[in-house]
Amino acid sequence: MTANPYAPRADVELTHPEWTRSATIYQINQRHFTPEGTFRAAEAHLPRLRDLGVDIVWLMPVHPIGEQNRKGVLGSPYAVKDYLAVNPEFGTLDDLRHFVATAHDLGLHVILDWVANHTAWDNPLVTEHPDWYARDWKGDFRPTPWWDWDDIIDLDYGNEDLRRYMTEAMAYW
């Protein structure tokens, strides 16, 4: 019998490539990094980042942002509406792929900020898989208990199907 890869484990062993020990990470907030706020506009700055000694470019969440309970006009990139799509405000999937390919050609690595703890209230998973979400004592969806995080609701990783979905969604990227 094969072990279930989605079953909870008591511990996880992580290994890191040696080069990462001294790597410099630069986080990009796509909205504010350039006046255009797009992947293509940010791509033009990759040679400069490399020349500054950056090894890894860390993109803030690239996914569409939820509209329900949205913070302000723009919303928070941490209120993910769709794990398998790119926020059109930043460009297309092809634009993101081109950004990553250009970064790789320059010897840079790219990290995508993955929001695994919660989703936007209008993420389709809310209606398709309501059992994947944490509930309060009344049985209502439980928003993250931090002040000013009303635009998101917590996921319940006690659900094996959720763990499978999120693993597959991460592997997609």
pLDDT of the residue at 5 = 77
pTM of the model: 0.87
Percent of the chain having pLDDT more than 70?
A: 99
pLDDT of the residue at 144 = 75
Place 87 in a pLDDT band, splitting at 50, 70 and 90: very high
d(CA 54, CA 64): 27
pLDDT of the residue at 135 = 92
Averaged pLDDT for residues 115-119? 95
Place 57 in a pLDDT band, splitting at 50, 70 and 90: very high
pLDDT at 62 over 70: yes
d(CA 8, CA 132): 15
Phi, psi angles (nearest 5°) of residue 108: -95, 150
Question: Dihedral sign, CA of 29, 35, 37, 39?
Answer: negative
pLDDT of the residue at 43 = 98
CB 39 within 8 A of CB 90: yes
d(CA 49, CA 40): 15
Q: 3-state class of 155 per DSSP?
A: strand
pLDDT of the residue at 78 = 94
Place 105 in a pLDDT band, splitting at 50, 70 and 90: very high
Closest residue by Cα to residue 98 from 161, 165, 171, 46:
46
The CATH superfamily of 23-172 is: Glycosidases (3.20.20.80)
Q: 3-state class of 96 per DSSP?
A: helix
Percent of the chain having pLDDT more than 90?
A: 76
pLDDT at 1 over 60: no
pLDDT tens digits for 67-77?
A: 999 988 889 99
